[in-house]
């Protein structure tokens, strides 16, 4: 009779429980020795059974380890690749480091869980977006190499990036200086300009999807990886995970709108920038639902109101990028890039100010209409204007064309009243 302890399945499971930190190598050795001893007495016990009955691993941990072991077993069957180790796991998949045998290079392979691999609509989109991503070629985008299927699991082969994610850096308690953050955001914005020009929307821009190489190059990961259709559900699935999707998701994705465009990525890039420089996510909450509600309804606290040393230019870029309504954000990703580069040179973000002025004008017209019904036009209109100025300086406020127009109107009204009074 074959010794259970020597089965390939047990060897893989044993490696995974230790790799995931569920038990120590000594505890594993203990169980393996016991297993051999028992099998010599014709008492066959599985390694899983012994790990749990000895209290080294919980049932939940065993379940998780089995899923990973299953994935790894499948991975060993992917022709042309050899798995080296596990790199990490997100809400949606597990990522492995592997060697591509034909080219003798290291790659990263993302394996989708069974539930997604069995969803035809998802798999179709997965291949479609994977193909589109493979056509992209940009130094700031993690390259997409291949997609395929093995043993019922679908996988995505991509460029391996050595280094940390922006999330890892923040989680270690290191805030980014404004200068460093701008440099990273500029690189990711360039990546997005390239993707958007080629018709691809990322839909999940966040600190965990930005990797920084030891040489300081920022790379956007998961480009072209199809997401689960219902973003709100995907966000809910991240419940309890710090810095998960709900912290950077755009209002239109929360609303489940069908035609998500480049402006969703602009919003998420703004939210990521906000977190990097303030050390805080834009909206906090006890549950994903609360956070999402705030994205929809709550006014953003401008970054320079949290950290006073943040320049008003950077703050304005973030405020425009994170406008609740897509039409009030940048008109193109290139526009956002131009402003970021201007601020990096120490110049003002001209396009953010223009977008901001247009929004203010729309607000002003709206409030003017409302007030006319109420009968106090100027008072209400100027209040709206003052609130909307946010972090701008007084000099900027006074030189604003809207303020000038308003003042002229007010002066004209006063003059007309005087003329009328005099002509009586
Ligand atoms: P989500 O499931 O929402 O995408 P996530 O981005 O945290 O969340 P994954 O994309 O599955 O999860 O990535 C998990 C981890 O694997 C990352 O945090 C990163 O450390 C590592 N990783 C991902 N892609 C690569 C890559 N191309 N090269 C090296 N490591 C990677
Ligand atoms: Mg990712």
Domain final residue pick, 364, 388, 415: 364
pLDDT in tens, 5-43: 457 778 889 999 998 899 999 999 999 999 999 999 999
In whole angstroms, what is the distance from residue 159 CA to residue 166 CA?
18
Q: Report the nearest atom of ligand 1 relative to the CA of 160.
A: 28
Check whether residue 305 and residue 390 sit in a common domain: no
Average pLDDT of the residues of the chain: 83
pLDDT in tens, 68-119: 887 777 777 788 999 888 888 877 788 899 999 999 999 999 888 877 888 8
In whole angstroms, what is the distance from residue 316 CA to residue 393 CA?
12
108 C-alpha vs ligand 1 centroid, how far in Å?
Answer: 9
Whether the predicted pLDDT of 373 surpasses 50 = no
What does the pLDDT average to over 234-260? 69
Whether the predicted pLDDT of 379 surpasses 80 = no
Q: Report the nearest atom of ligand 1 relative to the CA of 161.
A: 28
Q: Which ligand is nearest to the CA of 89?
A: 1
Residue from 208, 225, 246 whose mutation best tests the ligand 1 pocket (most atoms within 8 A of CB): 208
220 C-alpha vs ligand 2 centroid, how far in Å?
Answer: 9
Which domain covers residue 97, as residue numbers? 77-160
pLDDT in tens, 160-201: 999 999 999 999 988 899 999 999 999 999 999 999 999 899
In whole angstroms, what is the distance from residue 326 CA to residue 270 CA?
13
Contact 397, 387 (CB under 8 A): no
Check whether residue 206 and residue 70 sit in a common domain: no
φ, ψ at 210 (rounded to 5°)? -120, 120
pLDDT in tens, 275-317: 999 999 999 998 888 999 999 999 999 999 999 999 999 999 9
Check whether residue 120 and residue 256 sit in a common domain: no
Check whether residue 90 and residue 152 sit in a common domain: yes
82 forms beta bridges with 99
User: 3 pLDDT band (50/70/90 cuts)?
Assistant: very low
Number of domains in the chain: 4
User: 367 pLDDT band (50/70/90 cuts)?
Assistant: low
Check whether residue 287 and residue 227 sit in a common domain: yes
90 C-alpha vs ligand 2 centroid, how far in Å?
Answer: 7
Domain final residue pick, 126, 143, 160: 160
Check whether residue 48 and residue 62 sit in a common domain: yes
User: 329 pLDDT band (50/70/90 cuts)?
Assistant: very high
CA triplet 215, 220, 221: central angle to 5 degrees?
Answer: 110
301 C-alpha vs ligand 2 centroid, how far in Å?
Answer: 27
Check whether residue 90 and residue 69 sit in a common domain: no
Residue from 145, 221, 244 whose mutation best tests the ligand 1 pocket (most atoms within 8 A of CB): 221
Helices and strands of the chain, counted as H and E runs: 19, 8
Check whether residue 70 and residue 83 sit in a common domain: no
Check whether residue 92 and residue 38 sit in a common domain: no
- Look up 204 and say whether it is catalytic: yes
210 C-alpha vs ligand 2 centroid, how far in Å?
Answer: 8
Catalytic position from the list 10, 70, 204, 339: 204
What per-residue confidence (pLDDT) applies to 365? 62
Token code pair at residue 216: 């300081």
Check whether residue 175 and residue 154 sit in a common domain: no
201 C-alpha vs ligand 1 centroid, how far in Å?
Answer: 18
Residue from 71, 87, 171, 203 whose mutation best tests the ligand 1 pocket (most atoms within 8 A of CB): 87
- 3-state SS assignment for residue 86: strand
Contact 95, 89 (CB under 8 A): yes
Q: Report the nearest atom of ligand 1 relative to the CA of 92.
A: 2
Token code pair at residue 25: 């190598």
Q: Which ligand is nearest to the CA of 91?
A: 1
Nearest-CA residue for ligand 1 atom 5 is 90
List of residues 6+ apart from 322 with CB closer than 8 A: 267, 270, 271, 274, 282, 300, 329
Q: Which of 269, 253, 251, 147 is nearest to 196 (CA)?
A: 269
pLDDT in tens, 391-401: 343 334 444 55
Nearest-CA residue for ligand 1 atom 1 is 90
Check whether residue 348 and residue 271 sit in a common domain: yes
Q: Which ligand is nearest to the CA of 94?
A: 1
Q: For residue 128, what is the domain's CATH number?
A: 3.30.200.20
Check whether residue 220 and residue 316 sit in a common domain: yes
In whole angstroms, what is the distance from residue 225 CA to residue 381 CA?
46
In whole angstroms, what is the distance from residue 50 CA to residue 30 CA?
9
Nearest-CA residue for ligand 1 atom 9 is 90
Q: Which ligand is nearest to the CA of 162?
A: 1
Q: Report the nearest atom of ligand 1 relative to the CA of 162.
A: 29
Instruction: Name the percent of the chain lying above pLDDT 90.
Output: 53
**For ligand 1, which residues put their CB under 6 angstroms from it?**
87-93, 95, 108, 142, 158-161, 165, 204, 208-209, 221-222, 245
Residue from 67, 95, 157 whose mutation best tests the ligand 1 pocket (most atoms within 8 A of CB): 95
Q: For residue 195, what is the domain's CATH number?
A: 1.10.510.10
Contact 76, 85 (CB under 8 A): no
353 C-alpha vs ligand 1 centroid, how far in Å?
Answer: 36
List of residues 6+ apart from 228 with CB closer than 8 A: 92, 116, 122, 234
User: 225 pLDDT band (50/70/90 cuts)?
Assistant: confident
Domain final residue pick, 364, 387, 407: 364
List of residues 6+ apart from 375 with CB closer than 8 A: none
Whether the predicted pLDDT of 422 surpasses 90 = no
Q: Report the nearest atom of ligand 1 relative to the CA of 142.
A: 27
């Amino acid at each position: 009779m074959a010794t259970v302890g020597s089965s390939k399945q047990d060897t893989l499971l044993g490696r995974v429980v230790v790799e995931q930190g569920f038990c120590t190598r000594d505890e594993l050795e203990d169980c393996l020795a016991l297993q051999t001893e028992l099998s010599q007495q014709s008492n066959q016990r599985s390694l899983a059974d012994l790990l749990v009955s000895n209290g080294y691993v919980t049932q939940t941990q065993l379940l998780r380890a089995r899923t990973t072991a299953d994935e790894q077993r499948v991975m060993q069957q992917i022709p042309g690749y050899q798995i080296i180790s596990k790199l990490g796991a997100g809400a949606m998949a597990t990522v492995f480091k592997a060697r591509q045998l034909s080219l003798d290079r290291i790659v990263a392979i993302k394996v989708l869980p069974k539930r997604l691999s069995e969803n035809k609509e998802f798999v179709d989109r997965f291949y479609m977006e994977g193909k589109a991503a493979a056509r992209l070629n940009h130094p700031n985008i993690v390259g997409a190499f291949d997609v395929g299927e093995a043993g019922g699991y679908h996988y995505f082969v991509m460029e391996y990036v050595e280094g940390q994610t922006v999330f890892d850096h923040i989680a270690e308690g290191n805030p980014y200086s404004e200068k460093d953050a701008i440099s990273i955001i500029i690189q990711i914005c360039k990546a997005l300009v390239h993707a958007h020009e080629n018709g691809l929307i990322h839909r999940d821009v966040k600190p965990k999807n930005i990797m920084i190489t030891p040489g300081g190059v920022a790379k956007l990961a998961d480009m072209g990886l199809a997401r689960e259709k219902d973003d709100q559900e995907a966000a809910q699935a991240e419940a309890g995970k710090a810095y998960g999707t709900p912290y950077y998701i755009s209002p239109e994705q929360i609303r489940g709108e069908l035609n998500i465009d480049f402006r969703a990525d602009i919003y998420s890039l703004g939210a990521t920038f906000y977190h990097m420089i303030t050390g805080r996510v834009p909206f906090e909450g006890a549950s994903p639902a609360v956070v999402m509600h705030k994205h929809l309804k709550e006014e953003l606290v401008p970054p320079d109101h949290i950290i006073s040393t943040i320049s008003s230019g950077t703050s304005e870029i973030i405020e425009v990028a994170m406008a609740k309504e897509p039409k009030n954000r940048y008109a193109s990703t290139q526009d956002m890039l131009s402003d970021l580069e201007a601020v990096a040179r120490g110049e003002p973000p001209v396009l953010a100010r223009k977008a901001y002025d247009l929004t203010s004008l729309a607000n002003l017209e709206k409030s003017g209409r409302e007030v006319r019904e109420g009968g106090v036009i100027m008072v209400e209109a100027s209040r709206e204007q003052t609130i909307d100025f946010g972090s701008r300086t007084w000099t900027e406020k006074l030189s604003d064309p809207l303020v000038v127009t308003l003042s002229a109107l007010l002066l004209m009204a006063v003059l007309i009243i005087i003329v009328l009074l005099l002509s009586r």
